[in-house]
Amino acid sequence: MDKNNFNATAATAPYNFVPLNSTVISDNNPLVITGIHDRYDHLRRSTGYIECKLKTLTPMYIRSGLTEEEIRAKKEAKDNSNFFSPAGQIRIPGSSLRGMIRTLVEIASWSKFGFFEDRNLYFRGFADKCKNLSEDYNSQMKPYDRTSKGSIYKMSAGYMLKEGFKYFICPAEKTDSKNKQFYGITKAESFNEIKNIGEKRSDFTYYKLEDGRSIVVSGPMSNKKHDWIINKIDKNIQNRIEIPETDIQNYDRDESRDDKVPDLLKQCYNDEEVPCFYVEWIDGEGNNRVSFGNTALFRISYQKSIGDHIPINGKKNKEKIDFSNAIFGNTFEGEKDPYVNPIAGRVFFEDAKLVNPNEKCLMDEESPGILLGPKPTSFQLYLEQDSNIVNELKHYNSGTRIRGNKFYWHKSGEKWEHKYQNSDNLNEKIKTRIQPVKPDTEFKFRIRYENLSDSELGALLFALKLPEECAHKIGMGKPYGLGSVKITPELYISKRYKRYLTLFNNDGWELAETEQGDGAIDEIISDFENHILQKMIASDKGEASSLWETHRLRQLKTLLDVEKGKELESKEKTEYMDIKQFKNRGVLPLPEDV
């Protein structure tokens, strides 16, 4: 295999990514900069609404919320197969439409990468195929010692405890002949020690011995020969380590930790002193940090967070007001970010309602394929890679960028039902049933907008009026082909000054709202495109004469192309990989190279 031949061992997935922009383009609307939103600027800004028709191309599903009775019965979301139907009316929530369109505006306008969870992910790679990962793990946990020709464990051991809302680690005493806090004992010795205290040895369990030591039993491994002994706790309060809140939150949000692995935070509620292993480290901002786990070779935190791989969201760009925040607002972001002031949104999405409310549009209730959350720990898929050579792959401690905005390929929508085999042995938590609406179901919804500049209105229309061969994706079940929809916008502009000069016209109330034709819409979109093309750097623009010709938006257009998606589906190039394929750590090609 030639180096960097990405197609030779390419990964397959029902999704791909639109690459990040290199810079952020500012929105210079003075109303946004000054924060003045108490008046209509009818001379330089537009106010009105966009009437949208939405047609489902495939089955589409958005789950309804649980009722009070279901909540009291401790039902889970998956137990409810009903489509979103407030007051018994089938609808697409405006919040879902807003989120979908905001993402497209963010991409098309070279805005900051928004709405991601900035946290440290975890990994355990002492025997990983990726040499870069295993070397990084071993350097922190058990580097090879040339003198003894063996591994020297670098992690520490102690006891975790909870005081109020804070967690601490008290180191174990160093009492053995080698001045170690912990050591290994054979399974036979462990069995006898545990038997002597009247217990039975089980995996993923710890046992307190009468002399203050603890035995820690990890999970089953074919070549595991011993368990761990942790010496008794060091009671000197000056030696204990406070665990930063960031590390508590990161540990709590680690979805990749196996369900069988003990949750140390929960164990602290039931036990005053929980045996644990830990390593201390310092992050890029000079803060003391702690990674911890239940056994010696535990999963440790990457020292770079997800946000460290998004350079366009750095301090310099955070001070800019981009199109996405200017149009949709950033109330929640502003409360947390000292560099960004809160901005009121100027677009308002209504729920999409059925064009024909009496239409029987629901399909029969069926089970889709297993719906799981994203797995960003798969760095070969979620991070930009320069090579597909497994030993050269970059992980979350590397200096590389995330792949960008995640989109699912369009599919035919004909193979979304899944017949579970051996369902009695399947984890009930991952099974669900849904009742989608049929293909060719028509909805309509309205987007109201206020005081948008021509460029801002153009950004909104650009995200709504996709090229003819493209369509949007919304709702659940996207990996299996659900949620492909076609949106057709009609633009109306309101002349507020005229509305209040005259009360009535020949048709009734004077609303001063006029429909704009396709030509006007295209002209407004063109103004937006020219603005972005003029502001972007040369390396992002290339030879492009329109936004859809830029490298980034070519990838987006490919992902949104309905027939392209169906073609790739027929060739099985957009399927999830099986375990064997996944372990090879193949790299995802760019969308246009799939």
At a CB cut-off of 8 Å and minimum separation 6, what does 363 contact?
A: 59, 435, 436, 437, 438
The answer to whether the beta carbons of residues 464 and 30 sit under 8 Å apart is no
Sign for the CA dihedral angle at 330, 455, 108, 515 comes to positive
Amino acid present at 305: S
CA dihedral for 123, 171, 216, 427, sign (positive or negative): negative
In the prediction, which pLDDT does 25 show? 94
Percent of the chain with pLDDT over 70: 83
User: pLDDT tens digits for 283-319?
Assistant: 988 999 999 999 988 999 999 999 999 988 877 777 7
SS3 readout for 188-202? HHHHHHHHHCCCCCC
Q: End-to-end alpha-carbon separation of the chain, Å?
A: 18
Claim to verify: residue 267 and residue 340 sit in the same structural domain: no
Would residue 3 count as lying in a domain? no
In the chain, the number of structural domains is 2
In the three-class reduction of DSSP (H, G, I as helix; E, B as strand; rest coil), residue 591 is classed as helix
CA-to-CA distance for 450 and 345, rounded, in angstroms?
9
Partners of 56 in the beta sheet? 485
> 126 and 54 in one domain?
no
CB 14 within 8 Å of CB 478: yes
* pLDDT (average), residues 362-387: 87
Residue 330 has pLDDT above 90, yes or no: no
Q: Is 1 a member of any domain?
A: no
Q: How far apart are CA 108 and CA 412, in angstroms?
A: 26
Q: Are residues 464 and 565 both part of a single domain?
A: yes
Residue 143 has pLDDT above 80, yes or no: no
User: 29 vs 277, which has greater pLDDT?
Assistant: 277
Q: Read off the pLDDT of residues 464-506 as tens digits, 9 standing for 90 and up.
A: 999 999 999 999 999 999 999 999 999 998 876 655 666 666 6
Count CB atoms within 10 A of the CB of residue 225. Answer: 9
Q: In terms of Cα–Cα distance, which of 303, 214, 228, 196 is closest to 267?
A: 214
Could you tell me if residue 8 is inside a domain?
Answer: no
Please write the tens of the pLDDT for every residue from 514-572: 768 889 999 999 999 999 999 999 999 999 999 999 999 999 999 999 999 999 999 99
Same domain, 359 and 232: no
Domain boundary among 281, 304, 327: 304
545 lies in some domain: yes
Least reliable range by pLDDT among 99-113, 133-147, 173-187 = 133-147
On whether both 60 and 94 belong to a single domain, the answer is yes
Rounded Cα distance between 533 and 424, Å, is 56
Regarding whether 150 and 87 lie in a shared domain, the answer is no
Residue closest to 31 by CA, chosen among 326, 457, 329, 324: 326
- Is residue 447 located within the same domain as residue 409? yes
Residue 107 CB-half CA count within 13 A: 27
**584 — pLDDT class (breaks 50, 70, 90):** confident
In order of 8, 30, 448, the CA distances from 494 in angstroms are 56, 21, 10
- Tens digit of each residue's pLDDT (9 = 90 or more) over 241-257: 999 999 999 999 998 88
In-domain check, residue 315: yes
> How many CB atoms sit inside 10 A of residue 403's CB?
22
Rounded Cα–Cα distance for residues 116 and 132 (Å): 26
Residue 149 — pLDDT band, cuts 50, 70, 90?
Answer: low
Contact 562, 470 (CB under 8 A): yes
Q: Which amino acid is at 69?
A: E
Q: What would the two tokens of residue 349 be?
A: 């999405």
Please give the average per-residue pLDDT across 322-341, as a whole number: 70
Host domain of residue 263: 122-304
User: 127: exposed, middle or buried (C-beta count within 10 Å: 0-12, 13-18, 19+)?
Assistant: exposed
Are both 453 and 532 inside the same structural domain?
yes
For residue 45, the model assigns a pLDDT of 82
By three-state DSSP, how is residue 26 classified? strand
- 393-411: pLDDT as tens digits: 999 999 999 999 999 999 9
Residue that terminates a domain, selected from 280, 304, 328: 304
Residues 28 and 148 occupy one common structural domain: no
Q: What is the mean pLDDT of residues 258-282?
A: 94
Residue in the structure block whose two tokens are 């970010």: 337
pLDDT score for 35: 58
Q: Crossing angle of helices 551-560/94-108, nearest 10°?
A: 150
In terms of Cα–Cα distance, which of 380, 578, 346, 585 is closest to 448?
346
Pairing label, strands 15-18, 504-505 = unpaired
Q: How confident is the model at residue 71 (pLDDT cuts 50, 70, 90)?
A: low
Integer Cα distance of 198 and 358 in angstroms: 68
Of 304, 339, 357, at which residue does a domain stop? 304
Q: Looking at the structure, do residues 217 and 340 belong to the same domain, yes or no? A: no
Residue 4 domain flag: no
Residue 100 carries which side chain, given as an amino acid letter?
A: M
Which pLDDT value is given to residue 588? 93
Using an 8 Å Cβ cutoff, are 410 and 471 in contact?
yes
- Asked if residue 273 and residue 167 are part of one domain, the reply reads yes
Same domain, 111 and 143: no
pTM score of the predicted model: 0.88
d(CA 588, CA 11): 5
CA distance 22 to 227: 50
Q: Name the 3-class secondary structure at 336.
A: helix
Decide the pairing of beta strands 472-473 and 484-494. antiparallel
**Rounded distance between C-alpha atoms, residue 152 and residue 501, angstroms:** 84
Within a domain: residue 83?
Answer: yes
3-state secondary structure string, 111-171?
Answer: CCCCCCCCCCCEECCCCCCCHHHHHHHHHHHCCEECCCCEECCCCEEEEEEEECCEEEEEE
Q: What is the pLDDT of residue 46?
A: 86
Integer CA distances (angstroms), 588 to 238, 279, 375, 414, in order: 50, 33, 14, 25
CA-only gyration radius of the chain, Å: 28
With tokens 């010696």, the residue in question is: 296
Token duo for residue 3: 């180096």
Q: Is the pLDDT score of 170 beyond 90? A: yes
109 burial level (CB within 10 Å; 0-12, 13-18, 19+): buried
Can you read off the two tokens belonging to residue 493? 């502009």
Count other Cβ atoms within 10 Å, centred on residue 316: 12
Residue 10 falls within a domain, yes or no? no
